[in-house]
Structure 1
């Protein structure tokens, strides 16, 4: 699977709905993650193979995961320009007994600051890499190319020599025509500069775009939507010789975590595996949530007032150093938790992935009835757009999303403001 998750990956990995989307694949490439080297990116049943963090500018960021069973068949070959990597899948996985080299890439949009800071031509670098890896095996490219190719041919049309010419030069060299027997279609009819670069790359190396050529995507679905329009910019591209082992390519439904749709690629494998579902037969896992209870407001204030002396000592001992501030914040948190847990604690069942305790944004204390109403409206708009990607449905989805996000942000800010007022009140008392 390849998916542009549009920032905040570490935060999204704590959401059970997000993890459910990615959990079914064996090889997972997530891009535009906006991560750093300190983020906890562990996911249960996945091995984190690569964490690509930009060193010269903000943005971007990619991660590559694979399932445990792939461990002895996969290796990272190279990472380039903090924006793409090459992965080798061992030839023992495939019937043709050739290694498959997978390019996992995020190409920034035109005029992005990336090109100023890194001063490189990504397509030229990828072209040189493909020429090398094609001598060692087959090539598969996945990711967000920010390239709109429309339905333009990714091969050289009518690239056949006349039979008489072939008879005359046939003894001198073999001429291999650049043909493709499977036509490509696309809902996106626009071609941009990056798209032209991608089409030139396809023609120069003999790789073919899988979008719009498979049973799971026989219309060339949009992979990105915005208020201003929709486009196809996330791709799977492979050598013409291995189109037959790409058994399917699917642009999944849009969801609430990104304006990009996840793209799922299925590849025929010679090894036979079975999926084993591990069921926890012991006691279910529980977690304790602290949720504000307005009815107990007076009791909470009385409980905190009883600790006024401890609060006063705590504030008096704060020094302008990082260690002192960290310790004071920790002590204050414990003090407030001890005073409120008997009034605001709720025990619920939960699931875990890696080191994350999975919850949904709907579990947050600021997620009020208005948030729930807007959430349902947003989900309905997503359903309609996934069913029929018309202009009206896309515009309606963009409006519903903006309204929902704005209210969520406002509700969260108001909640934090009230929490801050409570702390200020405690400091005065």
Structure 2
């Protein structure tokens, strides 16, 4: 494993020697997996931020490979690879397979897991906290129906459910952060087992799949035919689209090859340039990923054989065992029995370099009964919507300033004013008024000076306090999450840490038992809490209607969160239009005789007395604006020289 870091662009180049790794599969000499994990863990830590600047992926195949020139030309000329950008120069490195990826990019964090029933998981705070770590969270086997409503703060939920069934079963769904929901479109699909999303700004299509296990009442190989038909229809509808499909396929594929291996002589002699470019583009060997599949599960079943056929026909590849922390491993994703690999990440070949992180997480019975979560990060340039409330970039410790007032400091506050600054500001205001030179920048400049004079005097008297809000970890602040739930959670976390350090069968059994007890306790307290709310509502219906409706509205699921998305520019444009003069008005329609002579009194300039009376009428402990930290008390206690400044503003 060779690493090269570019000091200017913080690029990571991962290379593997041809003689020892990728090309010599017969010797099975693999790179150090701990090195791979360390590289990807560093990548994950560096990219773990909520808002990252947009940056395109830079991929460079090496000039030493057999297809390098064809690959470069195909990438540059291909219209469906707008995400791939200019190539970096890596010719000075002695290797055969290199790709470079910018470390400063817009990373989309995703996760996929079979939850074995979603409603029961939403009661557990640990599951909610786990979902909130990701931008897109895919779930399968949700066991929902048409009457189930799933709500989670800051997320939008889409799902498909099994319609014709005696008991709730099957189903797929996805949680999408609201900032990303406008960038993704849910595509129509006739099957209840598939859910497809398309990125509006790119050709990438996400797919979430759940195939019932073999032998179940709903199992059928025809489901793979339906999935293949959906992929073909989407390829026809969206030309040059790229696929990223994940979910529980219940397919055991062993180490079967998932692509058609063309002979180089056949390719050169029988395929045209367009077909050649398409084959070269999806050549994992050229992109620096292992061609041979790796899997800890050596068994195959009928579903596995059919999944391999689907991969070959749809020209998509299995990501498990090929990328991220799972490279050259292929960990089991199902802990039932001796374990099996049945949850997959399937992708178009050209999307492999877009995976900045991939890992099969350790089994957690809180998240699923038997399945492990697939965690992965994409660099797909999905730019989230900017929320006005979150527009400012906050540091680790949020610093805010709070204006206060004390009547004992009134005299001291007046003496702290800078008379020179007030005099200079007054001269500047008179000059602007005489020249009639008004624009937005001038007004903002003068207003800032007035605020600065007021706040400087307040700061000198220690009237503006600095508050540092140290960020703390999220706490389970549910009303029904009492001490019994906390104790059960502590016991579960202890066994979870023990199993993480030493994953033995005994520790796993202890973890499952403790998680079962934890979930049982949480559900018990939640049901008791729901019952108390229902009883309270029934008791208030006739006794106290006002409290009845207040409580009913509080716990109603139909309330919609109102988010202020109006920017300051929109406010400015709106009120600017209000002050515009309609030049099309015919002044001949006005009767000049109706203009009263006493209107001249209204045109007189404001006096200091009127200004004082207006300021005194202001409410105490209120700020004139949330931006300048100027309390009304500051205006009431200014020296007389400041009133001349105020009069020029009005």
TM-score over 0.5 (shorter chain) = yes
Match runs of 1:233-382 below 5 Å: 233-255=342-364, 256-258=366-368, 259-270=370-381, 359=478, 363=481, 375=492, 378-382=495-499
Question: TM-score, normalised on structure 1?
Answer: 0.64
Q: Does residue 171 of structure 2 align to residue 70 of structure 1? A: no
Aligned residues: 325
Is the contact made by 1:155 and 1:180 (CA closer than 8 Å) also made in structure 2? no
The change in CA–CA distance for 1:73 and 1:109 in structure 2 (over 3 A counts) is same
2:263 is matched with which residue: 142, 147, 160? 160
Structure 2 gaps of 5+ residues are 1-110, 401-471, 529-650
**Consecutive unaligned residues in structure 1, runs of 5 or more:** 94-98, 283-348, 418-429
Deviation, structure 1 residue 106: 0.9
1:111 aligns with 2:215: yes
The aligned residue for residue 255 of structure 2 is 151
Structure with more of its chain in strand, by fraction: 1
CA contact (8 A) 1:15 1:359 kept: no
Q: Does the 8 Å contact 2:171/2:193 carry over to 1?
A: yes
CA-to-aligned-CA distance 1:282-335 (integer Å, 9 cap, x gap):
9xxxxxxxxxxxxxxxxxxxxxxxxxxxxxxxxxxxxxxxxxxxxxxxxxxxxx
Other-structure match for 2:160 = 52
| Structure 1 pair 84–167 and aligned structure 2 pair: CA distance change class (3 A) | closer
**Aligned mates of 2:230, 2:283 — CA distance in 1:** 22
- In 2, are the aligned partners of 1:108 and 1:114 still within 8 Å (CA)? yes
Q: Which structure has the bigger radius of gyration?
A: 2
Paired position in structure 2 for 1:398: 509
Aligned equivalents of 2:300, 2:323: Cα separation in 1: 21
Aligned residue in 2 for 1:123: 224
Higher relative contact order (CA 8 A, sep 6+): 1
3-state DSSP of counterpart to 2:116: coil
In 2, Cα distance between the equivalents of 1:14 and 1:409? 11
Q: For 1:4-19, what aligned pairs fall within 5 Å after superposition?
A: 4-7=114-117, 9-19=118-128
Q: Is the 8 A contact 2:191 2:226 kept in 1?
A: no
* 1:270 CA drift (Å): 2.9
Question: C-alpha root-mean-square deviation of aligned residues, in Å?
Answer: 4.0
Q: 2-side partners of 1:382 and 1:73: how far apart? A: 39
Distance 1:364 1:109, change over 3 A: farther
Residue 211 (structure 1) aligned with residue 338 (structure 2): no
Aligned CA distance change for structure 1 residues 377 and 265 (closer, same or farther; 3 Å): closer
Distance 1:198 1:394, change over 3 A: farther
Change (3 A) 1:382 1:59: farther
Distance 1:28 1:408 in 2: 21
> Displacement, 1:376?
5.3
Instruction: Provide the rounded CA distance (Å) in 2 between the counterparts of 1:360 and 1:187.
Output: 44
Q: Deviations over 1:75-102 (max 9, x none)?
A: 1112433221111112x25xxxxx1111
Contact kept in structure 1, 2:358 and 2:374, CA below 8 Å:
yes
- TM-score normalized by the length of structure 2: 0.44
Distance 2:257 2:114 in 1: 25
In the TM superposition, residue 41 of structure 1 has moved relative to its aligned partner by 1.4
Structure 1 residue 70: Cα displacement? 1.7
My pick for the range that moved more, 199-208 or 263-272, is 263-272
Q: Which residue of 1 aligns with 2:580?
A: none
* 8 Å contact from structure 1 (residues 254, 382) kept in 2: no
Conservation of the 8 A alpha-carbon contact between 1:156 and 1:179: no
Q: Is the 8 A contact 1:15 1:360 kept in 2?
A: no
